[in-house]
Structure 1
Amino acid sequence: MINGIWLGMIIIGFLFAAVNGRMDEFTAAVFDGAKSGVTVSFGLISVLVFWLGIMRIAEDAGLLKKIAKILGPIVSFLFPDVPKGHPAIGYILSNMSANLLGLGNAATPMGIKAMQELQKLNPDKETATPAMCTLLALNTASITLIPATLIAIRLNYNSADPAGIVGTTLAATAVATLAAIAADRFFRRMTMLRKPPKPPSAKSGSAPLAKTSMPNSSLKG
Structure 2
Amino acid sequence: MINVIWFGILFIGIVFGLASGNGELLSKTIVTTTEDTVQLIVQLLGMMCLWCGVMKIAEKSGLTDKLAKGLKPVLRLIFKEAGQDDKALGAIVMNITANMFGLSNAATPFGIKAMEEMDRLNGHKEKASNDMVLFLILNAACIQFVPTTVVSIRAAVGSANPGAIILPALCVTTSASVIGITLCKLLQKHF
TM-score by length of 2: 0.89
Matches within 5 A, 1:115-130: 115-130=115-130
Percent of aligned pairs with the same amino acid: 36
Match of 2:85 in 1: 85
Match of 1:205 in 2: none
Match of 1:71 in 2: 71
Match of 1:24 in 2: 24
TM-score by length of 1: 0.78
Tell me, what secondary structure is at the counterpart of 1:145? coil
Matches within 5 A, 1:172-211: 172-191=172-191
Q: How far off its partner does 1:138 sit?
A: 0.9
Q: How far off its partner does 1:126 sit?
A: 3.4
Tell me, what secondary structure is at the counterpart of 2:82? coil
Q: How far off its partner does 1:34 sit?
A: 2.7
Q: How far off its partner does 1:62 sit?
A: 2.4
Match of 2:170 in 1: 170
The AA in structure 1 aligned to 2:158 is N
Change (3 A) 1:7 1:116: farther
Determine if contact 2:55/2:101 at 8 Å carries over to the other structure: no
Which sections of structure 1, spanning at least 5 residues, go unmatched? Answer: 192-221
Distance 1:164 1:176 in 2: 19
1:106-157 alpha-carbon deviations (Å, 9 max, x no partner) = 2222212222222222333332221121111111111111111111111111
Match of 1:3 in 2: 3
Match of 1:59 in 2: 59
Distance 2:155 2:54 in 1: 19
Change (3 A) 1:183 1:32: farther
Distance 1:39 1:82 in 2: 43
Distance 1:28 1:18 in 2: 13
Distance 1:32 1:76 in 2: 51
The AA in structure 2 aligned to 1:154 is R
Aligned residues: CA RMSD = 1.9
1:140 matches 2:136: no
The AA in structure 2 aligned to 1:136 is L
Distance 2:17 2:31 in 1: 15
Distance 1:178 1:125 in 2: 28
Tell me, what secondary structure is at the counterpart of 1:97? helix
1:47 matches 2:50: no
Distance 1:83 1:9 in 2: 45
Q: How many residues align?
A: 191
Determine if contact 2:141/2:173 at 8 Å carries over to the other structure: yes
Change (3 A) 1:39 1:61: same
Match of 1:153 in 2: 153
Distance 2:189 2:17 in 1: 52
Q: How far off its partner does 1:50 sit?
A: 1.8
Tell me, what secondary structure is at the counterpart of 2:90? helix
The AA in structure 2 aligned to 1:128 is A
Change (3 A) 1:159 1:42: same
Tell me, what secondary structure is at the counterpart of 1:124? coil
More helix as a share of residues: 2
Distance 1:156 1:178 in 2: 31
